[in-house]
Amino acid sequence: MKKIFAIAGLVALSWSTVSCDRFLDIQPEGKVIPTTVEDYRKVLTSAYAKYPTHKSLSALRTDELQIDSNSMDFPNYREIAMWKDANLDQVTTEFPWVSFYSVIFYLNQTINEGSKSMMEGPEKNQILAEAYALRAYAYFDLVNLYGKPYNAATAATDKGVPISLEIDLEQVLPASSVQQVYDQIHTDLNKAEGLMVSEKQQAATRYRFSKVALMSFKARLALYQKDYASALSFANQALAMQSDLVNLNTTAIAPNRFDAQESILALDFALNNAVQNVGFASTELINAYDTANDKRFGLYFEASGTKFKVKKGGSTDFRVSFRTAELYFIKSEALLQLNQVQDAKNALMSVLSNRYTAVGLSALQTQISSMNANDFMQFILDERFREFALEGQRWFDLRRAQQKQITHLVNGTLYTLSANDVRYTIEIPPSAKKNNPNL
C-alpha cells in the first residue's frame, strides 16, 4: 500500500515543452516521454498518488465534526466549518480544483497517447481501463462538490464543471451541465468495463481500480441518479465478486482499513492528520450510537476528556473509497425504493449482524420489523451516518438525501447551514475563477 506514495515523488513526466495554462495551472517536469506499458503504469501511479484529499475537508462541513478552536491549525479550517466559500482569509485551505484537473491531465495523456503507443495485450487494457475509471471518479467527485445534486428534471441546465478530455494545455473551458458530466462519467465507465482485466486487487495495489471496484462505482453512481433498478443490479454484480464483511464481534479490525476483507478500492485519504487533529466527533454523531451494543463505537472513537477524538483516520492505513458494506447499503436502499421493503430490511441486516452485539441485534430486529417504508428509509440514512462516519460519504449523503439544517460553534459563534441551503453546493474556488473567467 505504501508504494503509491513513494513512487509519486520519483516519477518525472513530460511530453513536450509546455507553458502553464490558465485552466489547469500544470507544468509537467522531466524529460521522459512515456511509450511502453511500464512507462504508462508509472504515469497512472502518479495520477493515483496525486488524487486530492478533499473528503477530509468536506467532513468539516458536515454534522460529523466539531472544530477545535484551540488547535494549532484552526485558522486554516475555521472558514470551512463556517460554510464560507467566498472572500476567504489567505490562510484558509481551499477545496481542490487544480489538483483534480492535474490528475485528469495524466489520465488524458494515458488514454489519448498511451492507447496508440503501448503494445497490445492485457497490461495495456488494464492500464487504459483504470485510466477511464479514475477519470470518471474524478469527474464524479468534482460534480458532487461543485455542481448541484443530480436531479433528472434540471440536470441538463444545472451548472456542472468543465470537461477536459484532451491534453491541450491552452484550453480554457466553460462549465458543462451536470447532465453532461454524468453522461461523460457513464461513457468512461463503459469503456473501462470493456477493458478491465483484474477482478480484484491485492492489498498492496488496492488503490487501483478493478472489476469489483468498477461495479461498486456504477452502483453508487446509479444510486445518486435515483436509478434504483440499475443500482440494485450493479450492487448484486459487485457482491457476486466480493461479499465479505468484517465481523466486529470476533475481530477488532476497522472495516475501513485498506487491508480489511471489506476493502474494494483504497484510494481516498478520507480523514487526514490535519483534519483529524483539528476536530472532535460532534455530539450528534456520538449520540447516534448505542455505545453499549454497537461494536463500531470503540473502534471509531476514543474519549478525550468530555469529548471524543476520531480514531478511524489519520494514517495511510485508513484509505477507503469503496468497501463491501456500502454495497449492502445500496442494495437495501434500492430495494426499498423499488417497494421491496422486507428484502430491503434483510439486505441491511447482513451488515448489522456484523456490527452489533447479540443483545443489540435482537433489539434492532424488533425495532426494524415494525418500520414502514418511510421510517426504514430514515433508518438507512442513520445507519449510513454511523457506518461510514468520517469516510467522506456524509457530505454527499446530506446533499443527495436530506440537506438538513446543521449548526457549528466556531470560536464561540454559532453558524447555521439552513435546510436546503445553496451552500450545500460548494462554490468553485476563487483561484480557479480568477484563472478561468468562463467559470
252 and 379 co-located in one domain:
yes
At 109, which amino acid appears?
Q
At 414, which amino acid appears?
L
Complete DSSP assignment for 247-282: -TTT----TTSTTSTTEEE---B-S-HHHHHHEEE-
Report which DSSP code applies to 398.
I
5 and 132 co-located in one domain:
yes
124 and 248 co-located in one domain:
no
322 and 380 co-located in one domain:
yes
- pLDDT for the residue numbered 6: 34
CA distances from 70 to 63, 88, 170 (A): 19, 20, 44
Helix (H, G, I), strand (E, B), or coil: what is residue 369?
Answer: helix
Cα 109 to Cα 129: distance, rounded to the nearest angstrom: 13
Residue 216 lies in a domain: no
Report which DSSP code applies to 110.
I
- pLDDT for the residue numbered 169: 64
Residue 429 lies in a domain: no
- pLDDT for the residue numbered 21: 32
Cα 397 to Cα 401: distance, rounded to the nearest angstrom: 6
- pLDDT for the residue numbered 435: 83
Write the burial class of residue 220 (CB in 10 Å: 0-12 exposed, 13-18 middle, 19+ buried).
Answer: buried
Residue 202 lies in a domain: no
Q: Give the range of the structural domain holding residue 381, as residue numbers without chain letter.
A: 54-94+225-423
Residue 432 lies in a domain: no
- pLDDT for the residue numbered 2: 39
Cβ atoms of residues 220 and 325 within 8 Å: no
Cα 277 to Cα 292: distance, rounded to the nearest angstrom: 26
77 and 178 co-located in one domain:
no
233 and 258 co-located in one domain:
yes
Cα 142 to Cα 99: distance, rounded to the nearest angstrom: 11
**CATH code of the domain in which 44 resides:** 1.25.40.390
Residue 204 lies in a domain: no
Cα 53 to Cα 271: distance, rounded to the nearest angstrom: 8
- pLDDT for the residue numbered 141: 98
- pLDDT for the residue numbered 315: 87
292 and 353 co-located in one domain:
yes
Tell me which residue of 202, 220, 313, 223 sits closest to 265, measured CA to CA.
202
Q: Terminus-to-terminus CA distance in the chain, angstroms? A: 37
Span 282-340, pLDDT tens digits: 999 999 999 999 999 999 999 999 999 999 988 889 999 999 999 999 999 999 999 99
Cα 131 to Cα 398: distance, rounded to the nearest angstrom: 29
Residue 434 lies in a domain: no
CA distances from 44 to 3, 13, 135, 176, 439 (A): 13, 11, 11, 25, 28
Cβ atoms of residues 278 and 67 within 8 Å: yes
How many CA atoms are closer than 13 Å to the CA of 207, on its beta-carbon side? 21
Q: Which set of grid coordinates corresponds to residue 66? A: 466539531
Question: Into how many domains does the chain fold?
Answer: 2
Using N-to-C axis directions, what is the helix angle for 228-241 and 324-337, rounded to 10°?
A: 150
60 and 47 co-located in one domain:
no
Q: At CA 380, angle to CA 61 and CA 218, rounded to 5?
A: 80
Residue 370 lies in a domain: yes
Q: Which set of grid coordinates corresponds to residue 241? A: 465478486
The values of phi and psi at residue 433, to 5°, are -65, -35
Q: Which of 150, 178, 197 is the last residue of a domain?
A: 197
Report which DSSP code applies to 264.
E
Give every residue of the chain whose pLDDT is below 50, as ranges: 1-31
- pLDDT for the residue numbered 167: 83
Using N-to-C axis directions, what is the helix angle for 37-49 and 98-109, rounded to 10°?
A: 170
Cα 163 to Cα 278: distance, rounded to the nearest angstrom: 34
Residue 2 lies in a domain: yes
Using N-to-C axis directions, what is the helix angle for 98-109 and 122-146, rounded to 10°?
A: 160
21 and 36 co-located in one domain:
yes
236 and 136 co-located in one domain:
no
Cα 280 to Cα 262: distance, rounded to the nearest angstrom: 26
Write the burial class of residue 433 (CB in 10 Å: 0-12 exposed, 13-18 middle, 19+ buried).
Answer: middle
Q: Which helix (H) or strand (E) holds 427?
A: none
Cα 339 to Cα 322: distance, rounded to the nearest angstrom: 26
28 and 85 co-located in one domain:
no
241 and 357 co-located in one domain:
yes
Cα 115 to Cα 129: distance, rounded to the nearest angstrom: 11
Cα 430 to Cα 179: distance, rounded to the nearest angstrom: 24
